[in-house]
Chains A and B, each alone.
Chain A
Amino acid sequence: MTGRSGSPSVAGLSPMGEPLTGLGHEDGPLLRRRPPFGLIAAAALAASIALLPLAYLVIRVTEAGPGRLLAVLTRLRTWEVAATSVGLALAVAATAVVLGSMSAWLVARSALPATRLWAVALVLPLAMPTYVIAYAFVAAIPGVQGFAAAWLVLTLCTTPYVALPVLAALRSVDATVEEVARSCGASAWVVAHRITWPQVRPAVGAGALLVGLYVLSDFGAVSILRVDTFTRAIYTSYRAGFDRSSAAILAAFLVVLALVLVWLEARFTGQRGPVRGGSGVPRPPMPMPRRWLTPLAVLPLAAPLILAIGLPVAVLVSRTFAVDTGPVWSAVARATVHTLGAGALGMSAALLLAVPVGILLGRYRVRGSRFIASGVLATHALPGVVVGLALVLLGVTLMRPVYQTLVMLALAYGVLFMAKAVGSVRAGVERVPWVLEEVARSQGCTPREVWRRVTLPIAAPGVVAGAVLVLLTVMKELPATLLLRPTGFDTLATQIWSRSEVVQYGAAAPYALALVCVAVLPAWWLSIAASARGTDGRSGVGRG
């Protein structure tokens, strides 16, 4: 009765999950390691940099004064924009939940031919930027625009955010529990309702909130389809030029909405599904018999893929090669190089900020780490257009020397994608419990050798996956790049956008095709890596 009872008050460190300590868990809360000061300092610095745009936005709004704030907030148009944004987010979340859950269920529970292939295909829409799909729709059917079109396009893009967590949750449901329920006299329908659904619900909720966040931050699709959401309003208000504080106020409004979603999402993912009792690996359930599998059942899986990938690629290919696009290939090549460069830049910036934070959160449980974690989480809520705007305003006023240089762009990418990178660094580091390093020490390794032979090899795959994810996302990023790029630094994304803005649909096609080609490789690699980790990622370290 000595260890555990005394620890919380003694340590004063609220237990955040099971501590990662050395031999056994017994003395965990008592003999927790302290992070080196340098690590805390680096992490705190990274978190402050990440919060810089947000802080500056607050300053701008305060400077604008209450009168200005009131004027913007009482304007009818502000509330129209808010209603459109929230309405679109709700609508897309609803359809993405239905479509995503259905496809996850089909992949997890039905005797589909080539189930693994479908699981990989489920991820693929993530490689398609929303503005490319929107552009393809507009190019295919001229005149398409408005709320319904944005709803469809964004649903196609965001369904994976629901489908993937639900698929993971469904796969972790232990079939034994369902069988016991059946033996207690429950029908298949009752089992689905009372046993399976409660275990999947947190995944659905978290996925839906993620979709909502994505829709609120989307700039490309709503701009091309001319739907007046916050992001578009902020951009046009900034472009109009004379009224920057009202852009800042709109941006602050949007950030508040997004923060609410992030907060809800964190709460959802915090309360995971019910804890499974007993030990051992959950047994996968019997797949549904194939006779249930009419071609109609494959429709929820196949149709979104056709619309999100098949149709756009077909349109882009035909536009690129059929219409007289002229000698643009050198421009496309230059933009591709810029895109790759931007990706590498953003990846490095995000990793630089994320590594100290990820190590701190993954290895140590200290008082400040929760604070830093919330700071990083908050940046997750920042739409690209908001970060872009805040940094433009900051650059014009306080950071003139680096304004419109790659430094500014790197800063924006770092802030925008740090949260993603922190997640993967943290997950990678958490795969190396202290005990492994201690064993290595007892086997004669110096700390440096332990790092080289144990820590790095185990943590690296997760970190690399995170880096590739950031690379992919940076290459697709539109609004911040648009606002902050140095003059002449045209990426594929900005080229597509400026071409489609002036209704040169044919001219945008080669850029869009190049972007899809560039993005598809990392996306494919990621989905394969993810499914490989999911199936045989069990280590010898034991559970937890």
Chain B
Amino acid sequence: MSGDLVVAGVTVTYGQHRVLDDVSLTVPSGALGVVLGPSGSGKTTLLRTIAGFLQPSSGEVSLGRRLLTGPRTMIPPERRGIGVVPQEGALFPHLTVAENIGFGLDRSAVSQARIRDLLARIDLAGAGARLPGALSGGQQQRVSLARALAPCPDFIVLDEPFAALDAHLRGRMRDLLRDLLTESGAGALLVTHDQAEALSTADCVTVLREGRVRITGTPEHVYCHPGEPGVAESTGEVVILPAQVVARDRVMTCVGEITVAGTPAGTGAWGRVWVRPEQISLTVLPPRIRAAVAETPERTSDAEAGPIDGWRVARVAFYGHDADIIITAPASSAPILRARVPAPVSLRPGQEVLPAVRGVAVFEA
């Protein structure tokens, strides 16, 4: 255990442009932190700053009680003890797999044993003498991970390590990463633009947009309480609905009242609300109620929001573990909505449903 990695107030500028703007985050000792951000958000710059390839214009990086980067400190990369797993592996093309893994080790028998050990751990026990060119993308990525971990670093940083892998390989690579990190006790920071990868891998997630930290927290917290539309959009799928404020934390939409976080504008103000598809629950109306609803003639005027009736299932996209239900209200100008329901799914196209939103959503005027 080597202590927390602390990034404090790091700013990186290039000319007029701030690539990183006062970025602070902490990865607790031995934990796996993930920085989630779209391309161009500065996440690779953050990794390079931590690894010591880049001197920020201000801010500090420290690991445990050791200051790595500061106003008058710039420990060179080779003395930081931070392993690096770059995009697409970046193996040394002129060295064998075993030589790649052993690059940061001496030539002792202990090192040879360590290399053999790691080769076995990454399921490449027989491939030590091969050249990287002969490996598949997933294998290269695993060798890159083993190479970073071989010298027992205090911390490792990973740049989109799963980006080039197939879906089923990602899961295996993720498990391997977690296992190896646990065994070594090293902390890690991984950057990615893939929200599923971020949420499923991380102990804590930091969302980076346009060089600024937008939110930090557990994956669950970040997903369920994103706080702002941009974070909601970058951490998962959203349905955006027009909404009118009816109370301090309540807004009215075409699917009824929704609880929102924070204090929106005054009552009566219009805005939009960001809802997760799985927050929308669908109730199939029994014929009797349906008739009763249909008889209610009064419709709220266009100037005021209110629940719309006549929602019908337009399409069902079944994924196995769950399904997307596309619903429309043909009689009104309401948007097309996507709800996500767990399997088994009994809904069929054409059925009339009553949508409602559970939980808390994000509102912006």
Asked whether any CB of chain A lies closer than 8 Å to the CB of B211, the reply is: yes
How many whole Å from B257's CB to the nearest CB in chain A?
A: 35
Asked whether any CB of chain A lies closer than 8 Å to the CB of B147, the reply is: yes
Q: Decide if A27 touches B19 in the complex (CB within 8 Å).
A: yes
Asked whether any CB of chain A lies closer than 8 Å to the CB of B151, the reply is: yes
How many whole Å from A53's CB to the nearest CB in chain B?
A: 38
Across the interface, which residues of A come within 8 angstroms of B92, CB to CB?
436, 439-440, 454, 458, 540
Given A438-B53, A442-B82, A444-B151, CB of A2 within 8 Å of CB of B94: no
Across the interface, which residues of B come within 8 angstroms of A446, CB to CB?
76, 78
Asked whether any CB of chain A lies closer than 8 Å to the CB of B343, the reply is: no
How many whole Å from B208's CB to the nearest CB in chain A?
A: 11
Across the interface, which residues of A come within 8 angstroms of B14, CB to CB?
10-11, 30-31
Across the interface, which residues of B come within 8 angstroms of A190, CB to CB?
none
Give which listed residue, A4, A436, A441, A457, contacts B78 with CB less than 8 A: A441
Q: Decide if B91 touches A438 in the complex (CB within 8 Å).
A: no
Residue with the highest number of chain B CB atoms closer than 10 Å, among A440, A442, A443: A442
Q: Decide if A23 touches B44 in the complex (CB within 8 Å).
A: yes
Give which listed residue, A2, A3, A27, A439, contacts B86 with CB less than 8 A: A439
Give which listed residue, A4, A26, A439, A538, contacts B44 with CB less than 8 A: A26
How many whole Å from B188's CB to the nearest CB in chain A?
A: 13
Q: Decide if B87 touches A539 in the complex (CB within 8 Å).
A: no
Asked whether any CB of chain B lies closer than 8 Å to the CB of A73, the reply is: no
Give chain A interface residues in 6-34, CB to chain B under 8 Å: 6-7, 10-11, 22-27, 30-31
Give chain A interface residues in 398-439, CB to chain B under 8 Å: 431, 433, 435-436, 438-439
Interface-lining segment among B34-42, B61-69, B292-300: B34-42
Given A30-B19, A540-B132, CB of A442 within 8 Å of CB of B84: yes
Nearest chain B residue, comparing its CB with the CB of A542: B88
Across the interface, which residues of A come within 8 angstroms of B148, CB to CB?
442
**Interface membership of chain B positions 129-148, coded 1 if the CB is closer than 8 angstroms to chain A and 0 otherwise:** 00111010000100000011
Asked whether any CB of chain A lies closer than 8 Å to the CB of B318, the reply is: no
Q: Decide if A540 touches B133 in the complex (CB within 8 Å).
A: yes
A-B contact count (CB 8 A): 142
Q: Decide if A540 touches B210 in the complex (CB within 8 Å).
A: no
**Interface membership of chain A positions 434-478, coded 1 if the CB is closer than 8 angstroms to chain B and 0 otherwise:** 011011111111100000011001100000000000000000000
Classify chain B's interface size: 35 or more
Across the interface, which residues of B come within 8 angstroms of A71, CB to CB?
none
Q: Decide if A24 touches B53 in the complex (CB within 8 Å).
A: no
Q: Decide if B83 touches A2 in the complex (CB within 8 Å).
A: no
How many whole Å from A460's CB to the nearest CB in chain B?
A: 9
How many whole Å from B44's CB to the nearest CB in chain A?
A: 4
What separation, in Å, do the CA atoms of A112 and B293 have in the docked complex?
80
Given A22-B53, A30-B19, A438-B84, CB of A1 within 8 Å of CB of B210: yes
Give which listed residue, A24, A445, A458, contacts B159 with CB less than 8 A: A24
Given A27-B45, A444-B104, CB of A4 within 8 Å of CB of B90: no
Given A539-B93, A540-B132, CB of A442 within 8 Å of CB of B80: yes
Asked whether any CB of chain B lies closer than 8 Å to the CB of A324, the reply is: no
Q: Decide if B16 touches A10 in the complex (CB within 8 Å).
A: yes
Nearest chain A residue, comparing its CB with the CB of B103: A443
What separation, in Å, do the CA atoms of A223 and B39 have in the docked complex?
61
Given A441-B76, A445-B78, A538-B133, CB of A31 within 8 Å of CB of B90: no
Across the interface, which residues of B come within 8 angstroms of A444, CB to CB?
78-79, 104, 151
What separation, in Å, do the CA atoms of A441 and B157 have in the docked complex?
14
What separation, in Å, do the CA atoms of A436 and B94 have in the docked complex?
11
Q: Decide if A11 touches B86 in the complex (CB within 8 Å).
A: no
Q: Decide if B53 touches A441 in the complex (CB within 8 Å).
A: yes
Give chain A interface residues in 347-377, CB to chain B under 8 Å: none
Q: Decide if B40 touches A442 in the complex (CB within 8 Å).
A: no
Asked whether any CB of chain B lies closer than 8 Å to the CB of A541, the reply is: yes
Given A442-B51, A446-B78, A458-B94, CB of A1 within 8 Å of CB of B40: yes
Across the interface, which residues of A come within 8 angstroms of B133, CB to CB?
536-540
Residue with the highest number of chain B CB atoms closer than 10 Å, among A3, A433, A457, A536: A3
Asked whether any CB of chain A lies closer than 8 Å to the CB of B8, the reply is: no
Asked whether any CB of chain A lies closer than 8 Å to the CB of B360, the reply is: no
What separation, in Å, do the CA atoms of A446 and B104 have in the docked complex?
11
What separation, in Å, do the CA atoms of A25 and B132 have in the docked complex?
21
How many whole Å from A278's CB to the nearest CB in chain B?
A: 13
How many whole Å from A130's CB to the nearest CB in chain B?
A: 38
Across the interface, which residues of B come within 8 angstroms of A25, CB to CB?
87
**Interface membership of chain A positions 234-255, coded 1 if the CB is closer than 8 angstroms to chain B and 0 otherwise:** 0000000000000000000000
30 residue pairs from A and B, CB less than 8 Å apart: A1-B40, A2-B40, A2-B210, A2-B211, A6-B17, A7-B17, A11-B15, A23-B84, A23-B87, A24-B159, A26-B43, A26-B45, A27-B42, A27-B48, A30-B14, A30-B45, A438-B48, A439-B90, A439-B92, A439-B147, A440-B92, A441-B77, A443-B83, A540-B89, A540-B92, A541-B88, A541-B90, A542-B87, A542-B88, A542-B90
3 interchain residue pairs of minimum CB distance: A540-B132, A539-B93, A443-B104
A interface residues (Cβ-Cβ under 8 A, vs B)? 1-4, 6-7, 10-11, 22-27, 30-31, 431, 433, 435-436, 438-446, 453-454, 457-458, 536-542
Starting from the known contacts A4-B40, A542-B90, 4 additional A-B residue pairs (CB-CB under 8 Å) come to A1-B210, A23-B47, A31-B12, A540-B91
